[in-house]
């Protein structure tokens, strides 16, 4: 694991680097190297052949190029999809929603914060990074599906309740605990993704771990969030062979 800094103003770069190096030594965190660059070219070169899961502190405006930080972050995401990217920048460049969506930015740190507050923010993020290392999820816990339009839908199986196709066919609504997503795809493909997913009806796929009740007589299924679905004959025979309820 490495830590990268991209900042074109040398004074600020040095200030950040010095603080981080001291902090890492003090906490004895397993960071191989701290790499500080002031040129995009150097930074991109240092990204080559790099391992995943690093921490980054990037300035957005580099040598007058106003979205240099974003471009660099996009290059980072190609080789390191899980690392922590922080933008260190002036307040007027803050765009957390946009950058979260585009490159999963973790935080925006305001350069003009007072020294103590600035350093607290940097160290908080480093702390958060090392804390999150313990609760990594394995690949089989994650539902990943590429929609017809190329959008990647990601969700934890533990959160998924059901998939339902809407009135316009192929539009699918994924229902989770605190989230709803619509996308274009096919229920048959989705059902094939995991044994936990069962097609109980022409337009419904449920997560069998979320089924609370199965009323055989009335051909109905009740999920943990109290949604009720009717079950087709095919669905009934599937549920019967599972025989859990």
77 membership: H or E segment, kind and range: helix 68-79
If one counts every other C-beta atom within 10 angstroms of the C-beta of residue 216, the result is 11
- Pairing mode of beta strands 152-156, 142-146: antiparallel
Provide, rounded to whole angstroms, the least separation between the CB of residue 126 and other proteins.
21
Which of 63, 123, 70 is CA-nearest to residue 94? 70
- For 220: left if phi > 0, alpha if psi spans -120 to 50, otherwise beta; the answer is beta
Rounded CA-CA distance 54/198 in Å is 38
Rounded CA-CA distance 241/225 in Å is 24
Q: Which of 18, 52, 101, 144 binds other proteins (CB under 8 A)?
A: 101
Is residue 111 a contact point for other proteins (CB under 8 A)? no
Rounded CA-CA distance 221/228 in Å is 6
Q: Which is nearer to other proteins, 49 or 149 (by Cβ)?
A: 149
Is residue 151 a contact point for other proteins (CB under 8 A)? yes
Q: Which is nearer to other proteins, 51 or 96 (by Cβ)?
A: 96
What the block records as the tokens of 240 is 């019967």
Interface positions, 160-189, toward other proteins (CB under 8 A): 161, 166-168, 171, 175-184
Rounded CA-CA distance 117/119 in Å is 6
Provide, rounded to whole angstroms, the least separation between the CB of residue 218 and other proteins.
21
Q: Which is nearer to other proteins, 29 or 94 (by Cβ)?
A: 94
Is residue 92 a contact point for other proteins (CB under 8 A)? yes
Q: Which of 9, 42, 96, 240 binds other proteins (CB under 8 A)?
A: 96
Is residue 227 a contact point for other proteins (CB under 8 A)? yes
Q: Which of 28, 30, 78, 112 binds other proteins (CB under 8 A)?
A: 112
Q: For residue 35, what are the contacts with CB-CB under 8 A and spacing of at least 6? A: 2, 3, 4, 5, 46
Provide, rounded to whole angstroms, the least separation between the CB of residue 179 and other proteins.
4
Interface positions, 51-70, toward other proteins (CB under 8 A): 67
Q: Candidates 28-36, 47-55, 143-151, 237-245: pick the segment binding other proteins (CB under 8 A).
A: 143-151
Rounded CA-CA distance 220/9 in Å is 65
Is residue 212 a contact point for other proteins (CB under 8 A)? no
Kindly list the residues in this chain that would bind other proteins in the complex (CB under 8 A): 67, 91-92, 94-98, 101-102, 112, 147, 149, 151, 161, 166-168, 171, 175-184, 225, 227
């Amino acid at each position: 694991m490495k830590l990268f800094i991209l900042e074109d103003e040398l004074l600020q770069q040095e200030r950040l680097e010095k603080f981080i190096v001291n902090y890492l030594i003090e906490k004895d965190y397993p960071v191989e190297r701290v790499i500080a660059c002031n040129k995009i070219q150097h930074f991109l070169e240092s990204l080559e052949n790099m391992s995943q899961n690093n921490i980054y502190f990037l300035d957005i405006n580099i040598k007058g190029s106003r979205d240099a930080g974003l471009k660099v972050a996009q290059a980072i995401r190609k080789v390191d999809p899980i690392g922590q990217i922080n933008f260190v920048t002036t307040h007027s460049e803050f765009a957390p929603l946009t950058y979260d969506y585009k490159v999963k930015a973790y935080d925006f740190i305001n350069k003009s914060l007072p020294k103590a507050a600035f350093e607290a923010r940097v160290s908080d993020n480093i702390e958060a990074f090392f804390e999150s290392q313990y609760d990594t999820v394995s690949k089989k816990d994650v539902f990943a599906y590429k929609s017809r339009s190329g959008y990647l839908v990601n969700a934890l199986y533990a959160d998924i309740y059901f998939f339902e196709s809407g009135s316009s066919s192929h539009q699918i609504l994924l229902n989770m605990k605190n989230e709803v997503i619509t996308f274009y795809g096919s229920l048959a493909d989705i059902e094939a993704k995991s044994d936990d997913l069962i097609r109980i009806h022409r337009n419904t796929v449920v997560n069998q771990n979320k089924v609370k009740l199965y009323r055989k007589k009335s051909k109905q299924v009740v999920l943990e969030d109290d949604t009720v679905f009717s079950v087709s004959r095919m669905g009934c025979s599937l549920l019967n062979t599972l025989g859990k309820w």
